[in-house]
Structure 1
Amino acid sequence: MKIIEAQVYDFNKENAPCDTAKPGDMLLFRTLDCFSNRIPDENTTMADLDYTYGFANPAAGPVYVEGAEPGDVLVVDIYDIQVADEGTIATDDHCGPLFETTGYRTKKIKIKDGVADFNGVKFPINPMIGVIGTAPDGDPVIDGFVGNHGGNMDNKHITKGARLYFPVRVPGALLQMGDVHATMGDGELCGTGIEIPAEILVKIQLVKGFELNWPVLETQDKWYVNACAPKYDEALMNAAKEMQRLIMRITGWDAEETYMYMSVQSDVEISQGCEPCEVQLSLRIGTPKLYDLEPLVPQP
């Protein structure tokens, strides 16, 4: 099994791969927290950091996947996520709905036996990957941003046992991931979850020659299309169009029937919405699995 430790700060077709892998390989990604492990204690805040390109949301990778070509789909199975015993929550003065009354503050959260302790309130963690994806074929995208390649989707369902499908847009796909949260609520209201270093164990596979316009997440009982845009209505349109297209492909239903089915069975969920932070709004549409039909995305 290969261990991936090199850190990069953007999804970029020009990034040199730190390693190569073949479909079927297991990979262990060792990641820093979203602050590049630069907040050692509660006396250090985000105001003390150069929170610009080259600092935020480092991702381990990228890994060149042999045989991955534009037009394919990269499949990533998450086998395990192990986190450190302490994480960080931080606020600033420009992120989330309460930004006007919020200053800079750091809070360290101890984790023991899978339980986080916030001022004596204890709750189980559910480690999830905030940043994961493949390289876009256009301009680079900073790790802290999200797009149709993946990136900073901040989808709390990207956890152990989940399977992700990413469009391959450059030779080798260039897979990278990081920004693990011990836990995070939908929306990530103040802009951070419990940010934490981690080790992520995954298996990679390929689906050859399948059109995928946005990343898809498969859980035990649902399919999710992940999409984004500067505003909610545009992000919703992006996710809805892709979900409708994929359902139509496997059911043979027309657009109107599919739209009606989505209205009664699909859920719209906000992954991250931290205006006035310039990161785009990230959302997902989840539809229950249709077990008597073929999968929404072909299996590797």
Structure 2
Amino acid sequence: MQVITDQVYRFSKDNAACATAEPGEVLVFKTLDCFSNRITDETVTMASLDYGYDVANPAAGPVFVNGAKPGDVLVVDILSIDVADEGTIATDDHCGPLFEGMPYATKKVRIEEGFAVFNDLRFPIDPMIGVIGTAPSGDDVIDGYIGSHGGNMDNKLITAGARLFFPVRVEGALLQMGDVHAAMGDSEICGTGIEIPASITVRIALIKDFELNWPVLETKDKWYVNACAPEYHEACRNAARELHRLLMRATGWSAPDTYMYMSVQCDLEINQGCKPCAVEMSLRFGAPKHPGIKPLIDIDKLL
């Protein structure tokens, strides 16, 4: 089993692959926290930390997947996420609706037997991957940002047991991931979850010649299109268009029928919305798995 330890700070078609893998292979990605493990204790805050977006959110990788060509889809099954025994939460001067007047602060959070210890509270952790994706075919995208390739989606549902589908835009796909959170609420309101080093175990697969414009997440009971844009209404439109297209393909329904079904059965949820942070609005639009509707991406038939 290959263990990926190299770290990069941007998604790029020019990144040199640190490993090569075959479809069906299981890989382990060893990740740093989003601060590159540089916040050693609570006396270190983001006021004194060099935290430009070009040195934050390191991702392990990238991995070149043999056989992956533009127009294919890379499938990533999250098998497990094992986190360290301490994580970090921090505030800065530009993230979230309450940033004005909020002092810089750092909190170290112990992880004990699957629980986070926050002041006098203990609550269960649910480790998730904040940054994951493939290389874009155009300009580089810093790991802290998001796009149709994936990136800093900060979707709290990207946990063990989830399956992800990414558009392949460059030969080899160039898969990378990092920015694990032991726990995070939808919107990540102050700009950080419980940021923590981790070991991520995944299995990869490849679907040939399948149109996919945005990353798709499959959970136990839903299909989610993940999309982004500078503002909410644009991000909503991007996600809605792709979900609408995939649903029409699966059901054979007309455009109006599919639109109406989305209005009564599909849910729009916020991944990250910590404006005025420069990162774009990240959201997910989910359709329930229904026995009367074919899988949006039928991996068993397509592999």
| Local SS of the residue matching 1:99 | coil
How far off is 1:50 after superposition? 1.1
How far off is 1:52 after superposition? 1.3
Task: Map Cα deviations across residues 197-241 of structure 1 (whole Å, 9 max, x no partner).
Answer: 000000000010000000000000100000000000000000000
Residue 284 of structure 2: aligned partner = 284
How far off is 1:293 after superposition? 3.6
Aligned-residue sequence identity (percent) comes to 70
Q: Distance in 1 between matches of 2:298 and 2:14?
A: 29
Letter in 1 for 2:80: D
Letter in 1 for 2:112: K
Question: Would you say how many aligned residue pairs link Structure 1 and Structure 2?
Answer: 300
How far off is 1:14 after superposition? 0.1
Residue 295 of structure 1: aligned partner = 295
How far off is 1:53 after superposition? 4.1
Letter in 2 for 1:201: T
TM-score if structure 2 supplies the norm length?
0.98
Unaligned runs of 5+ in 1: none
| Local SS of the residue matching 1:260 | helix
- The equivalences for 1:114-263 within 5 A come to 114-263=114-263
| Local SS of the residue matching 2:61 | strand
Task: Map Cα deviations across residues 36-58 of structure 1 (whole Å, 9 max, x no partner).
Answer: 00000000011111111442000
Task: Map Cα deviations across residues 251-289 of structure 1 (whole Å, 9 max, x no partner).
Answer: 110110000000000000000011111000000001101
How far off is 1:294 after superposition? 2.7
Say whether 1:6 aligns with 2:6: yes
Q: Distance in 1 between matches of 2:290 and 2:72?
A: 24
What RMSD over aligned residues (CA atoms) do the two structures have, in Å? Answer: 0.7
| Local SS of the residue matching 1:217 | strand
Letter in 1 for 2:289: K
Task: Map Cα deviations across residues 40-95 of structure 1 (whole Å, 9 max, x no partner).
Answer: 00000111111114420000000000000000000000000000000000001110
How far off is 1:247 after superposition? 0.3
Q: Distance in 2 between matches of 1:86 and 1:126?
A: 14
TM-score if structure 1 supplies the norm length?
0.99
Letter in 2 for 1:216: V
Task: Map Cα deviations across residues 100-140 of structure 1 (whole Å, 9 max, x no partner).
Answer: 12121100000100000110111000000000000000000
Q: Distance in 2 between matches of 1:139 and 1:290?
A: 38
Unaligned runs of 5+ in 2: none
Contact map agreement 1:82 1:199 (CA 8 A) in 2: yes
Contact map agreement 2:32 2:178 (CA 8 A) in 1: yes
Residue 95 of structure 2: aligned partner = 95
How far off is 1:290 after superposition? 2.6
Q: Structure 1 stretches (4+) deviating beyond 2 angstroms? A: 290-294
